[in-house]
Structure 1
Amino acid sequence: MILELADIRVQPEKQEEFDAAIQRGVEQVIAKAKGFCGYKINKGIESPGRYLLMIFWETLENHTVDFRGSPAFQEWRAIVGPYFLAPPAVEHFTLLAKSS
């Protein structure tokens, strides 16, 4: 399993709208993508305009090729993109260890 981590910064006055938009975008668009395995969204406490979106994929290609190369990616960006202060920083991770 692959973890996609997107570090997102949004316009301060638009946080409440973004809270709804990001959930809607994941549930209505990304959740239907090939290889999607689940997600988490965390919102900053010290930096309330900062969000960490964690999406779990079966393979790296499910995100980088299947989803990003599909029309669904443009649909996703249309929902959340207007709120971004800058393009999100996105990286991928594999699990090294975890607690039980």
Structure 2
Amino acid sequence: MILESAVLPVKPTLQPGFEEAFRQASAIISSMQGYIRHELHRCMENGNQYLLLVWWETLEDHTVGFRQSEQYQEWRKLLHHFYEPFPVVEHYSEVSLGTG
């Protein structure tokens, strides 16, 4: 399992529209092969910034299965015009701490 993280810098004053568009976009991502779950968090110090966390079964489920799909084009149309600058997306794998 991998964790995708993206800090989403939303243009000032567009937060309400972004949140509504993200509600619509959530149905897209949650229908994808390999999707496990996702969360969206608004930054308390900067209300224009959000943190998106998405859990995928594999890296390729996100980078190939989602990003190269027709559904991703719909996702882009709904969300990408809200960002400035464009978000950096990173992927993480869990570190086993051997604690049980």
In the superposition, the TM-score normalised over structure 1's length comes to 0.91
Q: Which amino acid aligns with 1:15?
A: Q
- The separation in 2 between residues aligned to 1:92 and 1:85, in whole angstroms, is 21
Structure 1 gap segments, 5+ residues each: none
Deviation at 1:23, TM superposition (A): 2.3
RMSD: 1.7
Deviation at 1:87, TM superposition (A): 1.3
- The separation in 1 between residues aligned to 2:41 and 2:54, in whole angstroms, is 11
1:81 equivalent in structure 2? 80
Percent identity reads 36
Structure 2 gap segments, 5+ residues each: none
1:17 equivalent in structure 2? 17
- The separation in 1 between residues aligned to 2:4 and 2:96, in whole angstroms, is 16
- The separation in 2 between residues aligned to 1:74 and 1:91, in whole angstroms, is 20
Number of corresponding residues: 99
2:3 equivalent in structure 1? 3
Cα distance per residue 1:4-60 (max 9 Å; x no partner): 00111011110111111112202x211111100000111001011111100000000
- The separation in 1 between residues aligned to 2:33 and 2:92, in whole angstroms, is 18
Secondary structure of the residue that 1:55 maps to in structure 2?
strand
2:45 equivalent in structure 1? 46
Q: Is it true that 1:69 corresponds to 2:68 in the alignment?
A: yes
Q: Flag the structure with larger Rg.
A: 2
Runs of 4+ in 1 over 3 A off after TM superposition: none
Higher helix share: 1
2:35 equivalent in structure 1? 36
In the superposition, the TM-score normalised over structure 2's length comes to 0.91
Deviation at 1:97, TM superposition (A): 5.3
